[in-house]
Chains A and B, each alone.
Chain A
Amino acid sequence: MSLTNEFTKGIIRENPLFRLLLGMCPSLAVTTSVDNGLGMGVAFSVVLLASNIVISAMRSIIPNSVRIPAYIVIVATFVTMIDLLMHAFTPALYTALGIFIPLIVVNCIILGRAEAFSGKNPVLPSIMDALGMGAGFTLALVLVSSFREVLGAGTFFGQTILPENIPAIMMILPPGGFITLGCLLALLNKIQKKTA
């Protein structure tokens, strides 16, 4: 498989959120505004990239029987770094994402990629895999949060685009997250059936 292929597969064909249904907790919780969705996507991608590189580089010295605890420690290390960095440099985003930054450590996508890809492949393909998956997840978060911010708050990236009486506040409350993701998944199913 070529390197470009490793990169593009994560964006549409194996999109972690829409196709593999992984990482639903953060994608429902932090997508109340595009800023938050984008921030979460970037933080997640950095952790995924770093842990994919390390896991892939160490794959021959990690004993098979303790690989899951080893992966978790590696991922947790990078999550702690991101947590401290965001606390220092992006305090507003840090407050908005809150508990979901430390919770990147239990995001199934990262452990899933370690188990399915970087634990078995050399460093370079693992980097491409992480970049693709990270971009795919970020795109998905931005898509979900665009719908929710526009419909719920009438703004996009903080810019007002809808008149005051149109937005339905429910879309940025918890139910809006479930509705948006449900409708998007149904829509993708429909499109897939048409093209198939």
Chain B
Amino acid sequence: MHLTRERSKLRLREFLQIGLITGALVLVMTQGLGFFAPKVHADSVPTGLPASPTCFAPNPCIQKFTQPMPRFDVLPRNAVSTLVPAPTAQANTTQQAVDPALGGGFGPIEGRPPGPIWAHQGFTLFPPQVAVEVTQEGAKINNVYNPGVPASLNSGINPATPFHPRFHPFAPDQGPLALWTFNGTLPPKLVIGRYAEPILFREHNKLPVNRAQNGGFGINSISTHEHNGHHGAENDGFTGAFFFPNQFYDYHWPIVLAGFSTINTSATDPNAGTPDDFGGKRNVAGDWHETMSTHWFHDHMFSFTSQNVYKGMAGMFNIYSAKDRGNEAINDGVNLRLPSGTAKSWANLDYDVNIMLADKAWDANGQLAFNKFDFDGFIGDRMTVNLVDNPFFEVEARKYRFRILNAAVSRFFKLALSDGSTMIQIANDGNLLPHPVPLTELDEIGIAERYDIVIDFSRYAVGSKVWMVNLTQQTNGKKPDKDLSLQEALAGSDNDPVVGKFLEFRIVRQPAVQDVSQVPDPLIPNPVLPAVTRSRTFEFGSGGSQTTTGSTSFTGPWGIKTDNQGDMLNADYGRITAGPNFGTTEQWTLKNGGGGWDHPIHIHFEEGQIIARNGSANNVPAWEKGRKDVYRLRPSGSVTIKMQFRDWGGMFMEHCHNTVHEDNAMLMRWEIDNGGSPFLRPLPTPISTPQGVTFVPPDDILPTAF
């Protein structure tokens, strides 16, 4: 290449032209084509995008309640011996050639950080007994759909019929760049697990090696958070422990009761148990008051969680126990006999239904669309349930349990039945409540929160219908606009298409077998935690600033101020913000410092108990009196919780689960401190590349961390 001096003399116009081309190329290379999507006013729905079309010729236009809601797709539980290569305590660093698009050279086959620090804690004590092997890949047709129930309990869906990756039969299939899911297919995936049966969850990254091949949003490096598992940090889906295309990551989920190392260690408490395969149970160590039930798992890639989860990287995980057996007939004085079924010893799904709520938007071609340039958040204009648009679900005239997950990016939902009749809330964030709470309108369910409810359809005549209704109008990612009355919501909202009916229950028959399920009181009382030894304060707000540079830090509008000291800091997963002592109980106050915004704050690893809202225990409603892992702050509000840090070590996170806020720097790292033994203090930060993971010292440790 040779340019003359004359030609190198650029005029301003040429300079700008080259600049525009260069900029455009860089944008396309780094962001995909979505950057150039048309923009409309920020407070319209969907955020910054044109309304999603509902007519795709030659199909009829999409109407609500014209397709069945699919049950989740139950992932196979295989023998661990089926995994090749066999799982190892430390990351498998066998080398492989790295695709040139990822920098070439050689790198490890497993993306988990290598060495003893990120080795599976308890791998010997809790060796994996079940293998669940998945991929993360672009959309394709599902030919192996397993709903876990017969078609009669899945609204007539024939699982043998290929299941297309589309939001409605009258909408086009999603392309492999638009929708990325576990195994690349719909419906969303469900893992079945039980206490004391450790799972090895092996995830293969089969996403495109070229980052620009993302349909406009999303990134091909991933980290999967088991929300909210009580296990070591190496299995938590730490935001900086991400892995790349052509790698896998072994997550070891031991499924243990919190306190197993100090409470009921001889496993003599009959309430602390796990179901066996023969209608009985066996005792396990730990505190049964810490029994968990409804988890989910989702991508947690640093600064890309909103895009990747929106793109489809989310599933659910039902955990069964002696208390929450998944069999409503077993009457042994321990089993709560919640609605589920009777055919199997445990984990009956007949009348136990996972529900994933997520608002979406799609472009003129019907492909999933997202606006990643509004840092308030993203609101979609199409309501999906289990990733299909406004479906119906056939039920028998009996009690059902619904495990409802808000998997939206920024939207809150407030749910009611269209006739205003009662639902009974039994769990919050995967934890059965101390007492069931009868409600006609659920509280606003924040992003990542899970509400388990029971609806008794026996009050309806066969042939009748009732609808689930969203009462909350929300037109931007900041917070809900307003909660409507049931009557108003049923009339719909001109400003927000997601207000109103979104799920039609069709009562199709009397129960095939007698409903023997119960909703007893009490359910699971709260654990008694040791006295608080330390208090910390975290203030979540805007105006964040950054004090560090490098690949672990990010600059964005959001931040967290710690212990009323210093600035509101942007996210840096190399910075240690808090280091609670192993085994101790701390009191954390989470404050909304951002005026009228709302932030649902998620704390990884340990469940907390809310002891005050806005400074008073009287402000804690009945449905928040159990254990939780997501804490809505509400505008100008605060939440005070207590948590015990025990059993496992490593680095974890705390962040806003409005994932746009999270991605734009409202996230911090904390880690367990044991004074240096057996855990390091502080832990080195993993730096992930396709060629391998290296470690660097933390680039910042806040003065009140340890």
Chain A complexes with chain B: no
Chain A interfacial positions (CB closer than 8 Å to B): none
Chain B interfacial positions (CB closer than 8 Å to A): none
